[in-house]
Structure 1
Amino acid sequence: MSVLITGGAGYIGSTVASACEEAGIVPVILDSLVTGRREFAEGREFYEGDIADGELIDRIFREHPDIEAVVHCAALIVVPDSVADPIGYYEANVVKTLDLVKHLIRNGCERMIFSSSASIYAPGDDLTVDEGSALDPQSPYARTKAVCEGMFADIAATQPIRVLSLRYFNPIGADPKMRTGLQLARPSHALGKMIQAYEEGVPFELTGVDYATPDGSGIRDYIHVWDLAEAHVAALRRFDELDVSVINLGTGQGTTVRELAELFNEVADRPIEIVERDRRPGDVIGSYTRVELAERVLGWKARYSVADGIRHSLEWRELRAERLGA
């Protein structure tokens, strides 16, 4: 079995590719390298190009007729950037995804796993959500994911393609074998900012301390990227027997940003200072997921702890410049 992974030279896509290989599934990588890294596709069948390039998609399927499914990870994902450039985000995440789906249908591909986001949820009163919870995306980035999911539902109702949306919570960590990790030198998420503060010897800015959480900081469900990758493999294996179109992927435990920083200080060899700041544009209180559906239909549950994710992130950070040359 082969699987086409769009964005397969990025952080999540490359980790999914490694998990596929370990499970005997052959990954075929398509990446424009706008944010992905060529190094992450080494040793794999790799096509450099855009998901909207119909001629390239046709060529991939012509050269790999054994592709049975697509894992669609390609997207722009930085919330503040989406606020500043909503047109660019809708074009990259929605318009080009629609083009991709048209090309897949033309090539007879009937299975797609979509890299969605838990940021589309409206948090419940207890800050937990499940697949049936209300949606209320609060940023252009989140709305692109919600728009895509609605688009897929309409298309799948009449066209020969099924789409399973995996709504990720907050990925952290790196491939435990250190093959890949975060490719960005300056990631914008909380753990990336903590590592940057650690390296530069400056305080970590805790943005937003007036939320209705136990300590006032936003709450997240931090899932190890390898757990996330293994969930994709489980979804590929069970795709045809699934009777759902959406599955949440998280740990089922909420961790506030302040708690994350405290865990960081327990794992790291020296602590970071924490200073409080106002919320950034697009910031939300957050949520964490109930995990019963993923456990029942995928036979999957997260195995790595938040501390493991921090530890692997720091280990990868030490290797990043050596592996990526920057």
Structure 2
Amino acid sequence: MKKVLITGGAGFIGSTVASALLDQGITPVILDDLSKGRAEFVEDRIFYQGDIADPALLDRVFAEHPDIEAAVHCAAKIVVPESVARPLYYYRENVAKTVDLLDSLQRNGCTRVVFSSSASIYAPTPDARVDETCPVDANSPYARTKQMMEQVLQDWTRAEGAEAIRVIALRYFNPIGADPQLRTGLQDLNPTHALGKLIEAHTTGAPFTVTGVDWATRDGSGIRDYIHVQDLAEAHVAALTRFDQVVPPTAEDRYRVINVGTGEGTTVRELVAAFEQAVGARLDVREAAPRPGDVIGCYTSVDTARDLLGWTARRTIAEGVTDALTWRAKWAAHLGTTV
């Protein structure tokens, strides 16, 4: 595979995927509206600024790059509390516009798609461990957009006239860290996820709040599977380079789901302890009720990713913390602000 379209390729995950592809000699063609992505993340890369739902723009991309062999669809709105407050916005951005994108991909003969899905769609399980066979039951508008799009994509692969369409849905768990080479990272100095809030607490002296302390876990806090974003990016490279093995053109079922995580469950309290150990300092930790849309969380079996992609996560939470802190300092300096 020589060239791949990445929607949302100027964002945190999409830009890391683009870097990982470049490291393997695969050229990313990036489409991003820069509503959240950063122009700095696409410097010296093939880049188109615009909307994934713009058919004329997609036709232009494929006319200028007819050798695109697959698309990685990372573009999405992802903040759970915002999705609760603005559900129609999320359904429009994540579902309706993706349908328009798929029309453009099919019209231009792009038949391989890797979709950025989410572990947030899983129904709770007694031990918080899930695999690809577990039931889904999304619990926020954001998560429901991912669940809906998985159904859309699966139906798309079964449609009359779409016999060549094949899809791999990668269900992400919880990305942390930054590109180890510091080419890109989180755009926001103060992101809303747990590690972002820990870094904010460490760098500003603000308290860190554990949101939800009565979950059915070993210490009452939510549980997650924290995966280094570089490991996640390398899973995309594996999915693309092995695409025809994972979903052969002759396969009866042309839709495949693969969980992408470490296989280890870490509670929020355990993440706090690991963070404090990594930075050598204690934080002011407080407790609060869950936020709207919060769930107990889950962690994954890694058998499918290992067997189909030949991939396993290699980096630790400590490496994720270190890379995130190093990136934040570099990014703050670039933005001309203090950390």
Match of 1:74 in 2: 75
Indicate the residue corresponding to 1:169 in structure 2: 173
For residues 70 and 321 of structure 1, do their structure 2 counterparts lie closer, same or farther at Cα, with a shift above 3 Å needed? same
1:39–1:324 Cα contact (<8 Å) kept:
no
CA distance in 1, matches of 2:304, 2:132: 8
Q: After the TM superposition, which residues 104-143 of structure 1 pair with which residues of structure 2 at under 5 Å, given as runs? A: 104-143=105-144
Deviation at 1:323, TM superposition (A): 3.4
User: Which one-letter code corresponds to 2:9 in the other structure?
Assistant: G
* 1:217 match: 221
Equivalence for 2:266: 255
Tell me the equivalent position of 2:312: 301
Q: Any conservation in 2 of the 1:114–1:164 contact (CA below 8 Å)?
A: yes
Query: For the residues of structure 2 that align with 1:9 and 1:242, how far apart are their CA atoms?
Result: 27
**Ranges of 4+ aligned residues in structure 1 off by more than 4 Å:** none
Displacement of 1:185 in angstroms is: 2.5
Tell me what 2:4 maps to: 3
CA contact (8 A) 2:9 2:18 kept: yes
Structure 2 unaligned regions, length at least 5: 248-254
Q: Aligned equivalents of 1:110 and 1:137: distance in 2?
A: 28
Counterpart residue type for residue 320 of structure 2: G
Query: 2:7·2:73 contact (CA, 8 Å) conserved in 1?
Result: yes
Give the AA of the match of 2:290.
R
Q: How far apart are residue 269 of structure 1 and its match?
A: 4.0
- Percent identical across equivalent pairs? 61
Distance in 2, Cα, partners of 1:271 & 1:60: 50
CA distance in 2: counterparts of 1:304 and 1:122, whole angstroms: 27
Q: Shift in Å at residue 123 of structure 1? A: 2.5
Alignment of structure 1 residues 70-109 onto 2, 5 Å: 70-109=71-110
Residue 277 of structure 1 corresponds to 288
* Normalised TM-score (structure 1): 0.98
1:228-243 matches, within 5 Å, as 228-243=232-247
Q: Tell me the amino acid that sits aligned with residue 253 of structure 1.
A: E
SS of the residue 2:69 aligns to:
strand
Counterpart-to-counterpart distance in 1, 2:317 and 2:74: 23
Letter in 2 for 1:47: Y
Paired with 1:325 and 1:226, the residues of 2 have a C-alpha distance of: 26
Matched, 1:290 2:290: no
RMSD: 1.0
Match of 1:179 among 179, 183, 192: 183
Task: Tell me which residue corresponds to 1:56.
Answer: 57
TM-superposed deviation, 1:290: 0.3
Shift of 1:150: 0.2
